Amino acid sequence: MEFKKVAVIGAGLMGSGIAQTVAQAGIEVINIDISEEQTNKAKDNVIKNLNKLNAKGKMTTEQTESILQKLRYSNSYEDIKRADLIIEAVPEKMELKKKVFAELDALADNNAIIVSNTSGLSISEMASVTNRADKIMGVHFFYPAPIMKLVELIRGIGTSDETFDSVKEFSVKINKIPVEAPELPGFLVNRILVPMMNEGAFCVMEGAKPEDVDKAMKFGANLPMGPLELADFVGLDVMLATMEGLYEGFSDSKYRPCPLIKTLVKAGHLGRKSGKGFYNYN
């Protein structure tokens, strides 16, 4: 199935980045958010990102203009009509996602495929509020979406092979590298990566310095960023929520969130976005 028109629901950092990615691949896309302020902000961010690429000589003015012509914004879910593929990218809360999926299912064309950009929530549970479980699956993009090459593809219990194959083909068309991940908490990347960051936090709680933990993993394991640098970049609140999801989903003590992470989050020390986490960015 060829996707000629794509709708992205949610114009936050992930949603706007996904919309930009689709437009850069030459596909018509509409980025929808109920907040006009958010869609205006998303549009400004995309223009700024493209201008940076232009200034660095990585993109011509003509290419920038072509991308912007493929990308539109809206504040109404009604504009998902005639979209072949709908990508949900709202905040990572199951009840919110189920509400959005039910609304999208009622409005979307019968043949439209709806996917969730979730980092670990159940695809099957989202599909349960729709009448098209065979056309529902997960596509986990990584931040920042226009740059990160990987996407995790996740089948729900009812996802058809036709749906999976079509979405996999689409992910390659938008210049991503797809991997199939099981429908289990954390999928593949977060299930491996986030516990490493959590273990780094335990090392600090037990007396190690954050910079020593990061140096050890950068120069001992050849990682581009240390686990605590990465935790600050991702956001300690996001990391904690992921660990709690793993702990709850597997009921395994190896996923127990580090108490230090909980303390930092309670204090409002969320990493780069708040100015302070394991490191001080002020």
Q: 3-class SS at 91?
A: coil
Q: Which domain holds residue 73?
A: 5-181
Same domain, 196 and 176: no
Same domain, 166 and 76: yes
* Spatial distance between the Cα atoms of 166 and 234, rounded to a whole number of angstroms: 30
Of 181, 203, 229, the last residue of a domain is 181
Of 147, 181, 215, the last residue of a domain is 181
Any domain includes 281: no
Of 134, 152, 181, the last residue of a domain is 181
Same domain, 172 and 197: no
Q: Return the number of other C-beta atoms located less than 10 Å from residue 58's C-beta.
A: 10
Looking at residues 130-139, what average pLDDT do you find? 98
The catalytic residue positions are 119, 140, 152, 190
Same domain, 247 and 117: no
Same domain, 176 and 201: no
Task: Reply yes or no on whether the pLDDT at 1 is more than 90.
Answer: no
pLDDT of the residue at 282? 87
pLDDT digits (tens, 9 = 90+) for 90-116: 998 999 999 999 999 999 999 999 999
pLDDT of the residue at 88? 98
Nearest to 7 by CA among 143, 97, 150, 107: 107
pLDDT digits (tens, 9 = 90+) for 171-227: 999 999 999 999 999 999 999 999 999 999 999 999 999 999 999 999 999 999 999
Beta strands in the chain (DSSP E): 5-9, 28-32, 71-74, 85-88, 113-116, 136-141, 150-155, 177-181
Any domain includes 279: no
Could you give the number of structural domains in the chain?
2
Q: Return the number of other C-beta atoms located less than 10 Å from residue 61's C-beta.
A: 10
Taking the whole predicted model, whether its pTM rises above 0.85 is answered as yes
Any domain includes 282: no
Q: What is the mean pLDDT of the chain?
A: 96
Same domain, 126 and 47: yes
Looking at residues 249-257, what average pLDDT do you find? 95
